[in-house]
Every structure is written in structure tokens, then in C-alpha cells.
């Protein structure tokens, strides 16, 4: 099969346009499956979602199989591509599992009964999983279907990997990747689980912050104490822990862990200029969540703070009596959870040790500290000069009539780290979600315009990879 011509691509894009309703119905079929990975009662639904994906891939000519893990199953499908294909072997990753729907009372319609509703930008789809990640994975599937039907066949060599535990931490994905390393070998991983700059401006995510997430417990007396009998003599671990944690950042928002910034690389002037040109409105960004005054590290613009500077945030703190009414107690222990968002080159293991040292160096006499480690992942920076990124930039520019924004993300996508460290594959992150899609919240939605352009963008990208 020769590289697709412009006329063939035009025919495939026309097919995408005329079959948008059918594509939507395919998405709605998947959205009706309540594949909530966190809840054991939905284990059979997760299996159904995996089976649905397997059937869809098999119908398109993939050698597909539902593969067991210690948790929910993984779906793997292989398509060889044309005999004369010279482009990259694409590994498309997505997940079929979704978040719980609670609180159900806040949904405007049943979360697993997808609806088409009118919004300020036109039609939108509402359901749990509409954008995270069923809608975004279905865009790629529908692009494959369009090429298969109207383009003379799928023009690239592709492996599809769809897991069912992303929303609960993907505990079984890394063992699966290690056990199937040869079977999953590829040149580039394509992931659609991120966002656009705005509804009219496409984006490629080129930076992800990593994370060190820990818990500290400070212990003092052997039991809880009466604050009248012991107050003024016995050490209060809640007082001690809050004092120590209060020193974690200085007045300028700079984190005080020893050596924390040693490996933090500055953003280039070119990158800073590009981000400044985006015109990010931080007051409006904060206003949508009821805030008005920016916080964080002084001396850096908003997007640099969000995408390229590390952070430290207390995520929970507890100890003593927290019920209704009063109980005058000096607790025997106090605990806190803290997450450090890290930038590329920072070592998550080193940061954990820095945090432990910071706490231990400040312990008052009579106190001991213990630690739990919940997550460690490095930050990621994509090589923007790679041919895969250039192909994506060209495809998105053709679809939207403007260049794609090379943007960062303050969050973490652990699978990107796993794909790089285990398979040696870098990821191409092209997402079509929007900030107001209410991901993980009631009334999750996906704009039809984003869904439609997403299918067309994937269609164009496949042509680019095939040499078109």
C-alpha cells in the first residue's frame, strides 16, 4: 500500500464527517458500561469494557486479546500495517476504567446514561468517562475505522494497549509491561488523555511534573493525655508537627528541603516567551474556583509556576480529637500527607530523603517520626524536535488552521514514565479535553467539536506517519 495521497485523506476525512453520529453512538455504547475500577461491584463491568474493546479491534483486523492481570484485564491488539510501511510503529495507550460517580445527587442526568445536550460551544456529551478517557480513546478508534472503511485500509503499524486500572493507580500495569516488553515494543507511544489550550487551539503536552507523595507520623507519649493534667509538661505532637511543616516554605514560597532545587533547570528564554504570548489570565483561572489572589513561588509567571516549577502541598493533616463537641486531649501522635510536584531532572527518591531529613532535623526531644511512601515518579520533558512531534504539529496545524501550543502540565501521568523506563518509548501527548470538562466530578462532559476534531486530527496524524 503506497503512502496515502491527499485525495485519499480527503475521502477518509469526509467519511469521518458523514459518520459522526455513528461514532458518537459507538462512544455512547462504551459509556453505558459502568466500568468503575475502584469498586469491586463493577469488576464484571470492567471485564465487559475490555471485551468491547477487544471486539472492536478484532473487527478492524487487529490480532486482539483480553489479557489477564492481578486486577482488571488489559486489552492488546496488533495491526501489522502495509507491507511497505516505513513509518514509526505506534503504541496507542488508553484506559477503559472510570472514576466513581459520587455524589450521584449532583448529576443532572444518570452518569451512565450518556446524553447529547446543548452548551455554549454547541453540542456536548455528558456521562462518566465522556472525556476521561473513553471519549479520547474512541477518537483514535474511529480514525482507524474511517481509514479501514474509506481509505483502503489502516495505513500504519499499530499496537493498541488499553488498561483498566488507570483511575486506581495502574498497580498491575508495570508488571504487565515488564512481562510483555517484547510484545509491546514500538517507536512512539500515542496518548490522548490530556487537554487543549482552548476549544479552538490544539495542544501537545511536552512537560509533565513528577511526584513524591509521602506521609509522616510524629509520635510522642505512649497514650493520649488529659490536656489539663499534662498540658505545659508533655510534648504535643500536633503542635510539633504543625510547627515543623510551617517551616517547609519561606515567605516567598520557596521550599526549604536541603538540596531541593539543585537539579531544577531554568526555563529557556524562548520557552518563557512562548508561554507569555499565550496570554494566560490567572485571575480568571482562579476566579472559576472562587479565588482571586495568586499564591506560590515568587518571581515566576503563572504558567512557569504551574508547569515548570516544583511545589510542596499538604494534602491532609490529622491527630487528636476531631469529632463533634470538645475533648481536651493531647494526642499521642499526629500525621500529615504531603505531595511534592517535581520537574524534570529532580530525583523523586532524593526528594523523599530530603523530606525525611527535614523532619528529623527538627524533631523536638521525646518525639519520633515514621514515614510512608505512596508514590514516586520523575517529571517528563518531551524532545520537541523529534519527528513524531513534528508530524503531530503538522497534522494539528492542518486541522485547526493554527499552530499547536507546546504546553506543560502541572499533573503527572505515571504511564508515561513507565513506558519510557520499561519499554524505552517516549510518549506523544495529544489531548482534546478542556479545563471545564469536570473530569472526576459530577456532570463530566466532552464537547462534540473536540470529539469531532479529535477524530479528524488522529486521521491526519496516521497519514503523516504513513508518509502522506
Write out pLDDT tens, residues 11-59.
999 999 999 999 999 999 999 999 999 999 999 999 999 999 999 999 9
Can you give the CATH number for the domain in which 219 is found? Answer: 3.30.70.360
Task: Give the C-alpha separation, 140 to 457, whole Å.
Answer: 9
Q: Which of 332, 357, 377 is the last residue before a domain boundary?
A: 377
Same domain, 158 and 87: yes
Residue that terminates a domain, selected from 377, 410, 427: 377
Q: What's the pLDDT score for residue 187?
A: 98
Same domain, 196 and 313: no
Task: Give me the chain's average pLDDT, please.
Answer: 96
Co-location of 317 and 440 in the same domain: no
Q: For residue range 114-129, list pLDDT tens digits in order.
A: 999 999 999 999 999 9
> In this model, does residue 2 exceed pLDDT 80?
no
Tell me: do 401 and 457 sit in the same domain: yes
End-to-end CA distance of the chain: 12
At residue 1, the pLDDT reads 61
The enclosing domain of 433 has a CATH number of 3.40.630.10
- More reliable by pLDDT, 226 or 3: 226
**Contact yes or no for 455/146 (Cβ under 8 A):** yes
DSSP-derived secondary structure letter, 266: P
Range of the domain at 118: 6-208+379-465
Residue-wise pLDDT for 261-293, tens only, equals: 999 999 999 889 989 999 999 999 999 889 999
Same domain, 199 and 99: yes
The residue-averaged pLDDT of 413-430 equals 94
Q: Are residues 398 and 370 in the same domain?
A: no
- Span 79-85, average pLDDT: 96
404 in the same domain as 364: no
Asked if the model's pLDDT at residue 209 lies above 60, the reply is yes
How far, CA to CA in Å, does 430 sit from each of 94, 174, 197, 395, 453? 12, 22, 11, 11, 12
What pLDDT, on the 0 to 100 scale, is given for residue 468?
57
Report the alpha-carbon angle 214-219-224, nearest 5.
130
The whole-angstrom separation of Cα 28 and Cα 185 is: 32
Are both 319 and 428 inside the same structural domain? no
The residues, ordered by sequence, that sit 6+ positions from 29 with a Cβ below 8 Å of its Cβ are: 52
In a domain, 373, yes or no: yes
- Any domain includes 269: no
CA gyration radius for the chain? 25
Between the alpha carbon of residue 95 and those of residues 37, 107, 133, 169, 333, the distances in Å are 10, 23, 6, 12, 40
Specify whether 221 is located in the same domain as 329.
Answer: yes
Are residue 190 and residue 236 in the same domain, yes or no?
Answer: no
From 377, 397, 416, the end of a domain falls on 377
Domain assignment present for 1? no
Average pLDDT value for residue range 327-346: 96
Confirm whether 296 is domain-assigned: no
Specify whether 218 is located in the same domain as 248.
Answer: yes
Amino acid at each position: 500500500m503506497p503512502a496515502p495521497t491527499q485525495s485519499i485523506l480527503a475521502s477518509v476525512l469526509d467519511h469521518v464527517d458523514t459518520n459522526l453520529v455513528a461514532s458518537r453512538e459507538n462512544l455512547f455504547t462504551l459509556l453505558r458500561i459502568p466500568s468503575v475500577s475502584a469498586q469491586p461491584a463493577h469488576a464484571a463491568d470492567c471485564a465487559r469494557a475490555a471485551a468491547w474493546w477487544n471486539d472492536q479491534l478484532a473487527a478492524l483486523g487487529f490480532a486482539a486479546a483480553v489479557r489477564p492481570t492481578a486486577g482488571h484485564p488489559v486489552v492488546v491488539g496488533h495491526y501489522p500495517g502495509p507491507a511497505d510501511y516505513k513509518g514509526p510503529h505506534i503504541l496507542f495507550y488508553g484506559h477503559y476504567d472510570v472514576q466513581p460517580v459520587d455524589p450521584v445527587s449532583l448529576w443532572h442526568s444518570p452518569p451512565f446514561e450518556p446524553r447529547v445536550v446543548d452548551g455554549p460551544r454547541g453540542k456536548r456529551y455528558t456521562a462518566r468517562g465522556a472525556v476521561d478517557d473513553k471519549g479520547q480513546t474512541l477518537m483514535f478508534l474511529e480514525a482507524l475505522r474511517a481509514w479501514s472503511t474509506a481509505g483502503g485500509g489502516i495505513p500504519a503499524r499499530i499496537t493498541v494497549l488499553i488498561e483498566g486500572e488507570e483511575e486506581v493507580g495502574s498497580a498491575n500495569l508495570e508488571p504487565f509491561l515488564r512481562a510483555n516488553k517484547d510484545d509491546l515494543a514500538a517507536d512512539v507511544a500515542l496518548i490522548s488523555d490530556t487537554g487543549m489550550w482552548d476549544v479552538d487551539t490544539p495542544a501537545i503536552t511536552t512537560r509533565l511534573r513528577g511526584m513524591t507523595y509521602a506521609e509522616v507520623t510524629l509520635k510522642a507519649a505512649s497514650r493520649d493525655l488529659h490536656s489539663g493534667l499534662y498540658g505545659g509538661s508533655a510534648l504535643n505532637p500536633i503542635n510539633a508537627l504543625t510547627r515543623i511543616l510551617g517551616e517547609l516554605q519561606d515567605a516567598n514560597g520557596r521550599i526549604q528541603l536541603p538540596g531541593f532545587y539543585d537539579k531544577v533547570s531554568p526555563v529557556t528564554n524562548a520557552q518563557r516567551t512562548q508561554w507569555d504570548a499565550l496570554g494566560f489570565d490567572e485571575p480568571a483561572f482562579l476566579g472559576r474556583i472562587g479565588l482571586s489572589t495568586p499564591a506560590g513561588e515568587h518571581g515566576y509567571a503563572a504558567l512557569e509556576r504551574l508547569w515548570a516549577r516544583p511545589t510542596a502541598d499538604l494534602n491532609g493533616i490529622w491527630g487528636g480529637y476531631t469529632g463533634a463537641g470538645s475533648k481536651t486531649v493531647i494526642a499521642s501522635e499526629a500525621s500529615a500527607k504531603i505531595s511534592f510536584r517535581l520537574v524534570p531532572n529532580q530525583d523523586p527518591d532524593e526528594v523523599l530523603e530530603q523530606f525525611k531529613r527535614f523532619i528529623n532535623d527538627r524533631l523536638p526531644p521525646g518525639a519520633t517520626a515514621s514515614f510512608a511512601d505512596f508514590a514516586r515518579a520523575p517529571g517528563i520533558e518531551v524532545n520537541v524536535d523529534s519527528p513524531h512531534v513534528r508530524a503531530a504539529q503538522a497534522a494539528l496545524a492542518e486541522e485547526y488552521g493554527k499552530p499547536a501550543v507546546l504546553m506543560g502540565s502541572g499533573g503527572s501521568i505515571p504511564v508515561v514514565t513507565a513506558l519510557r523506563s520499561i519499554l524505552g518509548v517516549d510518549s506523544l501527548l495529544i489531548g482534546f479535553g478542556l479545563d471545564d470538562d469536570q473530569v472526576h466530578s459530577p456532570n463530566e462532559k466532552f464537547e462534540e467539536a473536540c470529539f469531532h476534531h479529535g477524530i479528524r486530527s488522529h486521521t491526519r496524524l496516521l497519514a503523516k506517519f504513513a508518509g502522506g
